[in-house]
Structure 1
Amino acid sequence: MNRLYLAIFVFLSISFSFGNIEEEESSSKRFEIISFEWHSVETAYTVSIWILLASVAKILFHVNKKFGDALPDSACLIVVGLLLGEVLKNFNVEASYFSLESHTFFLYLLPPIIFDAGYFMPNRQLFENIDSVMVFAFIGTIFNTVAIAITLFVCGSYGLFSIEFSLFEILLFAALISAVDPVAVIAVFEEIHVNEFLFINVFGEALFNDGAAIVLYLMFKKFNDIGEENMTFIDYSAGGLSFFVIALGGVFIGICFAFIASFVTKYTDRVKALAPVFIFVIPYLSYLTAEMFQVSSILAIVSCGIAMKEYVKGNLSYEANTAVKYFVKMLALCSETIIFMFLGLSTVSSNHHWDTYFIVITIASCLFYRTFGIIIECTVLNRFRTKKFTALDQFVLSYGGLRGAIAFGLAVSMPEMIAAKSMFLTTTIIVIFFTVFIQGISIRSLLNWLKVEKAEEHEISLIQNVYNRYFDYTMAGIEDIIGVHGKNTVRDNFETFNAKVLKPILMKSYQKRHFDASQIIRAYTKVIVQDAMNVAPSRKSSRKEKVDPMALEMKAPEKNPTIVADEEFRVDALYKMFNTLLDSKVKEIENALKERQEIQTMLPKTDIDDDYMAIMRSPDNTLRSNTAIYKRSISNPNMLNNNNLPGNNV
């Protein structure tokens, strides 16, 4: 029987191999059992292969820990892209298979990355530092663009460069080279675990800086299309006004679509599987709508992600929220991986024009003007901020201006009629390589050497959350008493408006049908209910008695020794109850270690936290089988006793 199958397979193979020969010899077409149709799947197959190669490359970097720790992910992917580009070029593969078009970059690869940054943005930290983030992102970008453009234009007027360019052309290049890449910043600073204050300022600036840089790029591109000799005062005024219209228009569109997404997910109880679809499609529609109306699409999808997160999370189940976080991260990771790999590939496939003077002056200008701008901006901000920027903070902000995908995408999309486009593209790639390899690799060692404050790796406890909320209300009350409307008052007013107006409209309100809580919470609930029952009769009797307000103010309450003793008894009983529960939990952990099982926390824990701040400070809540503590516990099962438990030496 096996021989029969083998004979049939050989026959089919021979028929397939000689199919073309028989077609040439015969005037009529023959029936083919198997045919090869590459053109029907060419695009999809090519995209899938690139995603697979890029993902495998990233996995290999992290498998080799020594190599992966030495280089940032972006640098590793660029190296792989360079090597692949050389191989494909030597095999005479068409350049279209490994070149990245600007249309593909801006419509398909960039939106997932920017949405991921907005959706996982720590909103509280962002709005507490909104003044510094906006100054760095908008004023800093404008300053860097103008300063770099003037420097290069003056140098070009003395004939230092091999290709001449106009003022608007060099402004176009300066705008794109001023774009700080959030992908590169996240990749480096998240690995280093810098403190929250530095991270949110660098990350927030990089994110909103892209929107500002693209707005400037589009403005100078229109100026260049009109022509320097045809520009009038009205054109310059309209261009300056368009900067604010494009930026604010993108934010407005993003917020509108965020409300739509929140409102739609409110009614997905009966079709829960469709809820995540709206979370991905509606923000992408905000991006496309902004592109259609020629406003900032980056600011649109960022604003959409920031605004919708709070309401969408409340409308989805725990499982759906986890799925959304994984899918957002997956899309962003795939896009980021492909972009940096194609950055290396494009170095081989693109037409380049090397100009040493132009490259060196551009890199020097980027470093100098960013440092100078950060120092001036921080000096001004420190006069109005409680939390000051130290000299060390200013150095990190200056050194963290990494260029990446945005600058490369804008350089590729430059009009072909610009004579210096090849020189601009080559310089952009070199600047990206310099910031990713030189600054990205050295920044970790520099921060460790300078002993920059790192993020605290701990989860915020319930008592910390309560204390923070109590502190917020206290500060808002103090501002109200002294007649000052500061950020605490603004936050308190927004939370009131959010709770009374927005949440009832955008979030579902439902009553839980079951009480799913731990034993400790249930025990605590019983104590609270008992206290409430004891207080209820005394409250009724107190309503009948009339108390003089002056006497109430003058008379100090006396301690009742019976109540104090009763409270002490309750505390002792509560302690004994908690002690019993903790002992049972310890035994459960010991049994799990003996059986080589993973020890889970009482509440479900996902691999992805809600924002980047939580990702940096959150330790792993599970003892994995490959960790040192797990291996030591297996070799010595008695190691996990009460004395070794964290918190017992408090």
Structure 2
Amino acid sequence: MLDIVAVFVSITAVLAFLNRRYVGLPPAIGVMGIALGLSVLNMALDAMGFHALHTLEQSLVESIDFSELLMQGMLSLLLFAGALHVDLSQLRSYRWQVASLALVGTTASTLLIGYGLWLLLSLTSLELPLAYCLVFGALISPTDPIAVMGILKSAGAPKSVELVIAGESLFNDGVSVVLFSLIVAMIASGEAPSALGASKLLLTEAGGGVLLGAAIGYLAYLMLKSIDSYQEEILITLAAVLGGYALANHLHVSGPLAMVVIGLIVGNQGRSYAMSEQTEKHVDMFWELIDEILNAVLFVLIGLEVVLIQFSNSLIVAGLAVIALTLLSRLLTVGVPIAALGRRFRLPSGSWRVLTWGGLRGGISVALALSLPAGGARDIVVSLTYMVVIFSILIQGMSIASVVKRVIPCADTQ
């Protein structure tokens, strides 16, 4: 295991250096773009009869369980690090906007994409059961906080827009995981869940995750408040994240939502009342490094994993149609409501375009797709997911800064 970690960290370091020294793209986009380019080059060389490098990359990627690594390892750290810097007082002032986008928007998007994909595939030679189409809708609907937050900061988006889209991204992945689990359980049982059963699962997973996060976050806050030593206080935050996520898994509640709540409590109550200036500086530096390192490794893995995908002409055509479908869904479930409600969302004019185009998909979608049981349906879902994620990060991520500057007046910085 140590050898595998060493190889991927070394690859990430080299690609991060190349991006910083020669390419100059935002870190997440740059390392993924270079990794993807190398993977495509390897695939082309393999098609021409030069198999050595392709075989080496394939064996390296197959040696790691991407879904397990992200969902059971990296996700807890990344979500906590993201929530740690969200101002809860500002987020509270946009609570209904964030809640409606994360809950109603994600659910509506799941249904819209799921049924839309089912209709699209009926026009092609590909076959995918409706249940798996809905699974795809659930895993592709949430915006990825890991991708969104770093790119929006570099894009110079107004604080209000950044706050709403970051808050939505932090919470909608928890909603998505619940919906994904519900549909997968339905496929396994062969029966459609009742409204009561679905509501119970949603309440247990989402509500339980929030309550567990609040309990662990408050306990961590009390421990931080009782001492003043940044070494131990950093250790407390790390234990709260790793231990809290493991406990959430054992209790069958939403670990992602628990991590967000813990991060909000430690980042706000803890920062204001339980940390000295020196502790705050070291805690922020520690979690910023964790965030940057894991973020870079994650996006390199996404770029390299593409060698395992078996693309065909029909899949590529379907993928292009699904990219358009996901953008349309984002427009209808996020852009149109914001544009229609206007002032009630209290966002600068033109924000609906930024939130529509800035709805980036990332590692969480890929991890959920890879967690599906092996089979033809899984292969189609994984391939479509990769095409949407690659388009999202490379095309949308690289152009979101220009969208922000073009559609939001400079004066609207609230």
Q: Same fold (TM over 0.5)?
A: yes
The letter for the 2-side match of 1:219 is L
Q: Which residue of 1 aligns with 2:326?
A: 366
Shift of 1:124: 1.8
Q: Is the 8 A contact 2:106 2:175 kept in 1?
A: yes
Match of 2:402 among 424, 445, 450: 445
How do residues 182-193 of structure 1 correspond to structure 2 at under 5 angstroms? Answer: 182-193=145-156
Change over 3 Å in CA distance of 1:273–1:249 after alignment to 2: same
Equivalent in 50, 54, 57 of residue 12 of structure 2: 54
Within 1, Cα distance between the matches of 2:335 and 2:368?
28
Q: Give the Cα–Cα distance (whole angstroms) in 2 for the partners of residues 193 and 319 of structure 1.
A: 28
What one-letter code is carried by the residue in structure 2 that aligns with 1:426?
S
Residue among 202, 206, 213 paired with 1:247: 206
Q: Secondary structure at the match of 2:376?
A: coil
Match of 1:274 in 2: 232
Q: Which amino acid aligns with 1:90?
A: A
C-alpha distance after superposition, 1:434-478 (max 9, x if no partner):
11122122222233333543786xxxxxxxxxxxxxxxxxxxxxx
Q: Percent identity?
A: 24
1:499-552 per-position Cα deviation (integer Å, ceiling 9, x unaligned): xxxxxxxxxxxxxxxxxxxxxxxxxxxxxxxxxxxxxxxxxxxxxxxxxxxxxx
Aligned twin of 2:158 = 195
With over 3 angstroms needed to count, the CA separation of the structure-2 counterparts of 1:318 and 1:226, relative to structure 1, is same
Alignment partner of 1:338 is 2:297 = yes
Asked if the contact 1:136/1:377 (under 8 Å) is kept, the reply is no
Q: What displacement does 1:87 show? A: 5.2
Say whether the 8 Å CA contact 2:87–2:268 is kept in structure 1.
Answer: no
Could you say which residue in structure 2 is the equivalent of 1:412? 370
Q: Give secondary structure in 1 for the equivalent of 2:56.
A: coil
* Residue 428, structure 1, aligned to residue 391, structure 2: no
Aligned partner letter, 1:395: R
Q: Which amino acid aligns with 1:262?
A: Y
Matches of 1:357 and 1:236, distance apart in 2 = 36
How many angstroms does 1:346 deviate by? Answer: 0.6
Output the CA distance in 1 between the equivalents of 2:347 and 2:224.
41
Q: Any conservation in 1 of the 2:230–2:278 contact (CA below 8 Å)? A: no
1:104 aligns with 2:66: no
Deviation at 1:231, TM superposition (A): 3.4
> 1:246·1:295 contact (CA, 8 Å) conserved in 2?
yes
Q: 1:297 to 1:420 in 2, by over 3 A?
A: same
- CA distance 1:162–1:420, change in 2 (3 Å): farther
SS in 2 for 1:110: helix
State yes or no: 1:297 paired with 2:255.
yes
Q: Which residue is 1:125 aligned to? A: 90
* Aligned-residue offset at 1:388: 5.2
2:168 corresponds to which of 205, 219, 229: 205
Shift of 1:94: 6.7
Q: Which amino acid aligns with 2:388?
A: V
**What TM-score, normalized to structure 1?**
0.58
CA distance in 2, matches of 1:309, 1:432: 30
- 1:545-586: per-residue Cα shift (whole Å, max 9, x none)? xxxxxxxxxxxxxxxxxxxxxxxxxxxxxxxxxxxxxxxxxx
User: What displacement does 1:325 show?
Assistant: 1.1
Q: How does 1:540-619 map to 2 (within 5 A)?
A: none
Residue 347 in 1 paired to residue 306 in 2? yes
* 3-state SS, counterpart of residue 157 of structure 2: coil
**How many angstroms apart in 1 are the aligned matches of 2:57 and 2:352?**
46
AA matched with 2:33: V
Q: Tell whether 2:96 aligns with 1:147.
A: no
Work out the CA distance in 2 between the residues paired with 1:262 and 1:369: 40
**Is contact 2:109–2:333 with CA below 8 Å preserved after alignment?**
yes
Sort the Cα spacing of 1:194 and 1:327 in 2 relative to 1 into closer, same or farther, 3 A: same
Aligned position for 1:500: none
Equivalent pair of 2:160/2:347 in contact (CA under 8 Å): no
Contact preservation (8 Å) 1:78, 1:343: yes
Change (3 A) 1:340 1:375: closer
CA displacement 1:10-47 (0-9 Å, x = unmatched): xxxxxxxxxxxxxxxxxxxxxxxxxxxxxxxxx21321
Q: Shift of residue 384 of structure 1?
A: 4.7
Cα deviation, residue 380, structure 1 = 6.2
Query: 2:156, 2:319 → 1: CA distance?
Result: 32
Q: Secondary structure at the match of 1:246?
A: helix
What amino acid maps onto 2:90 in structure 1?
Q
Q: Which has the higher contact order (CA 8 A, sep 6+)?
A: 2
The residue that corresponds to 2:80 in the other structure is 115
Instruction: For 1:49 and 1:94, locate their aligned partners in 2 and report how far apart those are by CA, in whole Å.
Output: 11
* SS of aligned partner of 1:363: helix
Structure 1 regions of 5+ residues with no counterpart? 1-42, 457-612, 614-650
CA distance in 2, matches of 1:340, 1:94: 16
User: In 2, Cα distance between the equivalents of 1:454 and 1:435?
Assistant: 28
Change in CA separation of 1:268 and 1:388 when aligned onto 2, cut-off 3 Å: closer
Question: 1:379/1:76 Cα in 2 relative to 1: closer, same or farther (>3 Å)?
Answer: closer
Q: Deviations over 1:230-261 (max 9, x none)?
A: 336xx342013322331111111001001111
Moved more, 167-176 or 74-83: 74-83
Shift of 1:182: 1.3
Q: Report whether the alignment pairs 1:73 with 2:27.
A: yes
Once residues 175 and 353 of structure 1 are traced to their aligned partners in structure 2, the CA distance between those partners, rounded to angstroms, is 24
When the two chains are superposed, the root-mean-square deviation of aligned CA atoms in Å is 2.4
Deviation at 1:53, TM superposition (A): 2.6
Q: 1:169 aligns with which of 132, 144, 151?
A: 132
- Give the deviation of 1:169 after TM superposition: 1.2
* Gap regions ≥5 residues in structure 2: 44-50
**Equivalent residue letter for 1:363:** I
The answer to whether structure 1 residue 134 and structure 2 residue 99 are counterparts is yes
3-state SS, counterpart of residue 121 of structure 1: coil
Letter of the structure 1 residue corresponding to residue 404 of structure 2: L
CA deviations on 1:102-155 (whole Å, 9 max, x unpaired) are 111211122211111111112122111111111111111111110111112223
For residue 90 of structure 1, report the CA deviation from its aligned partner: 2.9
Matched, 1:214 2:177: yes
Equivalents in 2 of 1:311, 1:189: separation in Å? 25
C-alpha distance in structure 2 between counterparts of 1:369 and 1:192, whole Å: 23
Please name the residue that 1:178 is paired with. Answer: 141
Deviation, structure 1 residue 309: 2.4
CA–CA separation in structure 1 for the residues paired with 2:185 and 2:247: 20
Distance 1:87 1:370, change over 3 A: closer
Higher helix share goes to which structure? Answer: 2
2 CA distance for matches of 1:131 and 1:180?
18
2:226 partner SS: coil
Aligned 8 A contact 1:194 1:453 in 2: no
Instruction: State the shift of 1:389 in Å.
Output: 5.7
Query: Which of 192, 213, 220 is 1:231 aligned to?
Result: 192
CA contact (8 A) 1:81 1:344 kept: yes
